[in-house]
Chains A and B, each alone.
Chain A
Amino acid sequence: MKIRRLELENIGRYVSRSFDFDDLTVVCGENRTGKSTLIYALFFALFGTHLHSALKTSDLCRKGQSFGSAVLDFEAGGRSFRLKRSTQGGPVLYSRNADAEDWRPDIPDHPQTDPIGISAEAASLTSFFREGELIYFLQDIPRYNKTLLQNLVQMDDVLIVQSRFKKALVLAREENKALHQACPLKEISPLSLEEQKKQAEAFEAERSRMDAELKNMSEYVGKAVDPNLFKLLQQRRDEKAGALEAASAQRKQLPGLNELAERLKEVEAYLAAGGEPAGSSDALQRRLGELERGIRDIDDESGRLRRLESQARCAVCGQPIPKQRLSELISELAGRKEEAEKSLQSTRRDLQNALDAERRLEAARRELETLRRRIPEARRLEEQIGDLKAQLLKSDEELHQYQALTQNLKDPEKHFQRLRELEEERARLEGCIINARVAVRQMEQDLALIQECSAKFDQSRQHMLMCNIACQAVDYAVQSLNRSLLEKVRRSISEWAGRFTFLREFDIELGPQQISPIIQARGYQYKLNQMSKSERIFLYLLLKLAIGDAMSHLGAFVLDDPADGLDLKRKRMLAQLLTEISPGRQIIVTTNDESFADQFSAGSRIDLDGAI
């Protein structure tokens, strides 16, 4: 590809200007005269994007303008092309044959046919030498080279694809692992299932045998032979006997019911008759009091008469006291007193009789109450005794029955022990049967699941195989491509090795064995850091030219101010080198250094003087 002409309209500082290019073109101008703009415009005309990926194409427009356009004329494959591009519209490609004058819209014979040949990214790395890139190179040469190589072959994209294939394999493996986890861990053979079934059946047979033995024992002794039941029966019988004894003792303390009834009748009759005939004790008490007062009055009168008998005359009237009369009166009083005392004695006896009668009546009343209470109690006791006797009889019968049942057993305790052991063993067997049945069911389910999973496993293994083969093939292709590209770069650098003579000063040989360590940054960082800035820039330019030559490129190298930082010697060497290679590869180089521009012995020159 040879770039021949570029027409710009409203791009950067240019309102409308055109540039013609030779195989070697030196663009010379001071700062702010549009050198870099020209490089950016050239890249935009070719690829429709900004050379700086961080900037937009609209940033190329002249200040105050909404759009700009570029028209690029170039030659490729023996044909001439015109590529029109605007910041707002798509590109339009025209072509014409060498002998024709009119441009015609170019319709490619094949969609893959592209007169430019490489992508914008590759061109920006292999054909365009940028100032910012140089700074990056100077900071970390080995890392730059590694990145450059990767970017050159679009290794980033390829590595991403490679990574995605590996992740796809991981996904397939995870799917396979998930299938394994969903399936039973152990492989179950049908043989072990059969064994498990046989064991379950053996347990069941043993249980049947045990059931028969238990049934036999139960029929023989029945549930009544339980020693605990015997103890219970005995205890109940003892309790009832004790209760009966207590009730009988209570009953014995009471007379018979007939006796009580007769006595009740007697007492009731006695009370109905009002008790024994006797005077009222109160009246007798009063009579007794009256008699005692009468006796005391008689005694008092007798005492007064006796006192008078000892006196000769009356102390009141003074008349002589008749002694005879007094004696008669005293005798009369003595008689009356005797009668009164007799009456008193008789009254006292009557009173005593009356009080006794009253006491007996009261006693009869109390006895009546007692009788009335005791008769129901005696009846209740008799009923209770009757019940208890009946219960005791029943308990005795039960005990007899129990003894009749057990009398055939020689050793009931031993028999019961065996019964208990059988029941415990049966319970254990029941558990074993349940476990065995559960195990059989689990194994059957697992077998079904395994059979179900088997098809999925096969499919999953096939998926993994496909992913694995794809991964291996990607790895192989990427590594082979890497080796192949690196080999191309090595060959190219070997061809350019004559230009790297200054490296010998740093004991760096550029033989086939030594090239890759420089590119891949192994052990050469120290030596590279020892170089001067000028030497490093020169190395960068040479390496990039060599690598660009090795890879596909535009067929042209566009260098933006490459002489910046070079010493005079290297400027001369660079100018000489670019002049030498320009017939085979078109060179467009910008500089603000007049002396460097003057070093070029061939080619054309564009002096930028600020014209827009």
Chain B
Amino acid sequence: MIQNDWLIHLFDRRVDELASENNLDDGQKQQIKDVFRFALENSYADERQIRVRLTRQEPK
């Protein structure tokens, strides 16, 4: 959706700002962005799945 694209663009921009303020690394930034896309694309993804994906330790 056009709105979703715009929404994702806005989200990503804000994540970049906040990540810079809070010293998040690129991996964590990308993790948050991926979870937002996942939540938009999958209506079944509830808060537990979102939290698990947000807090999952990605292998470095």
Contact = CB atoms under 8 A, between A and B. Distances in A.
A467 interface: yes
Nearest to B43: A157
A604 interface: no
Given A154-B1, A473-B32, A481-B10, A165 B50 contact: yes
A161 B8 CA distance: 12
Interface residues of B, number: 32
B7 A478 contact: yes
SS of B interface (majority) = helix
Interface residues of A, number: 34
A463 interface: yes
Nearest to A473: B14
A476 B43 CA distance: 21
A552 B2 contact: yes
Given A119-B1, A161-B39, A473 B11 contact: yes
Contacts of A485: 3
B50 A469 contact: no
A462 to B, nearest CB: 8
Given A470-B32, A470-B54, A473-B11, A481 B3 contact: yes
Interface string A150-168: 0001100110110011111
Given A154-B3, A481-B3, A485-B3, A473 B50 contact: no
Contacts of A476: 10-11, 14
Nearest to B19: A469
A164 B50 contact: yes
A469 B24 contact: yes
B4 to A, nearest CB: 8
SS of A interface (majority) = helix
Contact of A484 (B6, B22, B54): B6
A164 B39 contact: yes
A172 B55 contact: yes
A135 interface: no
Q: B4, B12, B51 — which one has the most chain A CB atoms within 10 A of its CB?
A: B51
Interface string B15-48: 1001100101000100110011001100101111
A154 B2 CA distance: 11
Q: A154, A462, A469 — which one has the most chain B CB atoms within 10 A of its CB?
A: A469
17 contacts: A154-B3, A157-B40, A161-B36, A165-B36, A167-B46, A167-B47, A171-B51, A465-B22, A466-B24, A466-B55, A467-B54, A473-B36, A474-B36, A476-B14, A477-B7, A477-B10, A481-B10
Interface of B: 1-4, 6-8, 10-12, 14-15, 18-19, 22, 24, 28, 31-32, 35-36, 39-40, 43, 45-48, 50-51, 54-55
The 5 closest A-B pairs by CB, nearest first: A167-B47, A477-B10, A168-B51, A477-B11, A473-B14
